[in-house]
Chain A
């Protein structure tokens, strides 16, 4: 009798546990978020902000952030694909920069091997010139590049990164040969900004956040953002509105490991959907000045594929990727 009771009791417990697990699988996930970069950078800040929003809003039971730095994310993605296969609680933050880095590093692992979940944020690129530059708008800059692309020096982030790609696309849209652009990579925003402020280069290109306070103080002139239409935070029409066909954004997103089930993918997507709508996440976006660009599911998968194709084309054109 006692034996039977014990067995019954156990069975009931197990059933309750299973039921509880099924109903709360999405609500109470124990997530692991990998930032494939050292603490402090954009991807790391995104991962930690996700952690903050997910736990404070009670969307996930816990969210643990790990850092796997190296080679523009190439080391992080290798770890995700090789070591976390089929793990439905693992996410990795990534962004447009990783698309280019994987191509230039000739990484054996590609983004096609991951499971795309959602795009989270975006930041438009800004082109600036020193305040005393004769170049007043995008048309002037395009004319200068068309005349002699080598004489227009660009300061921006690392070679093959989003800044470099945007500069090449600008030259192409201006009708100049993108392989001839004189792009000078700097490590970190500070050094590039110093070179632009000091008038050492013709133009600077980077995320608008890097230049904002200098533009407001009148030390740099904003030529335009790479958005489709003028955004509310600037006074200058977008580069596209000025007649140069250039549209590019530096987005950040999350992907999951390969080999997860459809249910696991849905649970992760639902969790991200909830997070993106939460008050906590929206507050973080506002505080950090990140633009909400939330897209999940198949729409994001398509964006990812399109961006890979376009980036490969540009990087091959400027000679960073040998086809």
Chain B
């Protein structure tokens, strides 16, 4: 196998002490910035670019990859412990992860996230090694109509998991869709619902919405209920580590999450959010313990976390083989390549095999480092929950504000954070699920612009959605996903009668 021989050569590059050091700096830095909401790996790489100008190309690109993977890890830690997703990709993790943490199972939640990320990252990196040239052809053949169909699948599957009442879930979703319309419309260049406020022209930042709804809203809610009853948090209930049962419930979601994350991450407009939501929805549907969802189900952490990390490896497929940056971080890594006069693309594998395979090999190493770094820290992290509640939530507010301001230093951003915080509080108070709002904000604009692009290309003929085989297949899947639950419900009733 040629790929394995090349990978072995790459390992030789990656285990040079200097490169190991760069990988270590990268993962540490990445974890640190991933923890802070708003400051992501993209910003970090951007700020480091001028500093690394004089460094060895292999070393600094290996460091950038470490930052990327580290950021994906760090984001989940705060999502689980304090319900503050550091990145939009770790939002799905916050849903069940934080509930687990509140039930004293923060240890297993963090462990399944760390191990799941490792498993997914490793499998996906292996996929990158072996499948990159084939996968990229499929990824490029994905047209706007196919993306739209993928969004339909995401909407259908995710909306089924919107809590107990579909009406409340859909209300939340539509709030999100409306927020998604704010700003300059990409296709016409006209601004919508921005009321002449220039800060709103650039659309609503997903992290601002997520942090406002999740963290600020939660802090307000807890504060409002303090005089009624003080919620006692127990940091550790049962084992700090994953039990045999936890392992049994985690390994399948890890693998399924990888199956969502890697291919969708490899799509030029795929991203990391969609696979995490799809994974969450799938786990919720397939679980043998549906009663646990909404109370802290380990499957709901294991799946999205795996999907999240696998998509990071997927993003490198179009970047390395085509020079297509498909996420903000990938775009920064591309700039990193270019500052050394290297152009990622079809020729990079041939011209710079040492560099490319060194990078891929160092991804394996970065993954292993992250696992070693994170697992021993689990015990330390969960102590965070032992901080008295007023202090903890005050800290969360400071943390959320700081992250927002650091990412976008503007008073309007802070006002939005506050408004979304109040919205989150009201939604909690009146029992509306908050996740669909963020889902709507992320998926709505993508679905809209892809549909309009598809129709623009087909000169307004809607049949283009059915003529593309990929799109037709995905729409069929969406239709089945829509009908199947009713059918299964009927079947279940039938079974119950039979029993």
**Chain A interfacial positions (CB closer than 8 Å to B):** 38-40, 44-45, 48-49, 51-52, 68-72, 74-75, 78, 104-105, 107, 150-151, 153, 158-160, 164, 182, 184-191, 193-195, 197-198, 200-201, 209, 212-214, 216-217, 219, 287-289, 320
Is B332 a contact of A214 with CB atoms below 8 Å? no
Q: How far is the CB of A216 from chain B (nearest CB, A)?
A: 7
Q: Is B85 an interface residue (CB 8 A)?
A: no
| B199 lies within 8 A of A70 (CB) | yes
Residues of A contacting B343 in the complex (Cβ-Cβ under 8 angstroms): 212-213
Can you list the 8 inter-chain pairs with the closest CB atoms, starting with the nearest?
A: A159-B189, A213-B345, A39-B46, A71-B201, A194-B268, A217-B346, A40-B46, A190-B324
B201 touches A217 (CB 8 A): no
Contact of B202 among A71, A185, A189, A212 (CB under 8 A): A71
Tell me the residues in window 239-297 of chain B with beta carbons closer than 8 Å to chain A beta carbons: 268-269
Q: Determine which of A38, A188, A200 lies in contact with B457 in the assembled complex, contact meaning CB atoms within 8 Å.
A: A200
23 A/B residue pairs, CB under 8 Å, sorted by A: A39-B46, A44-B46, A52-B50, A78-B198, A105-B184, A105-B191, A164-B189, A190-B268, A190-B318, A190-B326, A193-B322, A194-B268, A194-B269, A194-B318, A195-B144, A197-B322, A213-B347, A214-B323, A214-B346, A217-B347, A287-B341, A320-B188, A320-B190
**Least CB distance, A317 to chain B, in whole angstroms:** 14
- Stretch binding the partner chain, chosen from B135-143, B151-159, B168-176: B135-143
| Cα-based distance from A288 to B188 in the complex (angstroms) | 32
Contact at B186–A159, with CB atoms within 8 Å?
yes
Does A188 contact B325, Cβ atoms closer than 8 Å? yes
In the complex, A217→B453 CA distance in Å?
A: 27
Contact A190-B325, Cβ < 8 Å, known A44-B46, A105-B198: yes
Complex Cα distance, B50 from A10, in Å, reads 43
Could you tell me if B43 and A51 are in contact, using CB atoms closer than 8 angstroms?
no
Smallest CB–CB gap between A146 and chain B, Å?
17
B268 touches A217 (CB 8 A): no
User: Is the CB of B408 closer than 8 A to any CB of chain A?
Assistant: yes
* A214-B322, A320-B189 given; A153·B198 CB < 8 A: no
**Docked CA distance A74–B197 (Å):** 11
Chain B 323-335, CB-CB to A under 8 Å as 1, else 0, gives 1111010111001
Cα-based distance from A10 to B335 in the complex (angstroms): 52
Q: A70-B202, A105-B198 are in contact. Are A198 and B346 (CB under 8 A)?
A: no
B473 within 8 A of A: no
Q: Is B131 an interface residue (CB 8 A)?
A: no
Q: How far is the CA of A129 from the CA of B53 in the complex (A)?
A: 34
- B70 part of interface (Cβ distance < 8 Å): no
Residue of B143, B268, B347 ringed by the most chain A CB atoms within 10 A: B268
B389 part of interface (Cβ distance < 8 Å): no
- B347 engages A184 (CB within 8 Å): no
- Residues of the A chain whose Cβ atoms lie less than 8 Å from the Cβ of B339: 287-288
> CB < 8 Å: which of B46, B140, B188, B345 contacts A198?
B140
* Additional pairs, 20, CB under 8 Å, beyond known A70-B199, A182-B456, A200-B144: A39-B46, A40-B328, A40-B335, A68-B409, A69-B202, A70-B410, A71-B199, A104-B190, A105-B191, A105-B198, A107-B198, A160-B189, A185-B186, A190-B330, A191-B269, A200-B457, A213-B323, A213-B343, A320-B188, A320-B189
Complex: A198 Cα to B142 Cα, angstroms: 7
Whether B139 pairs with A194 at a CB distance below 8 angstroms is yes
Look across to chain B and name the residue whose beta carbon is closest to the beta carbon of A44: B46
Is the pair A187, B347 in contact by a Cβ cutoff of 8 Å?
A: no
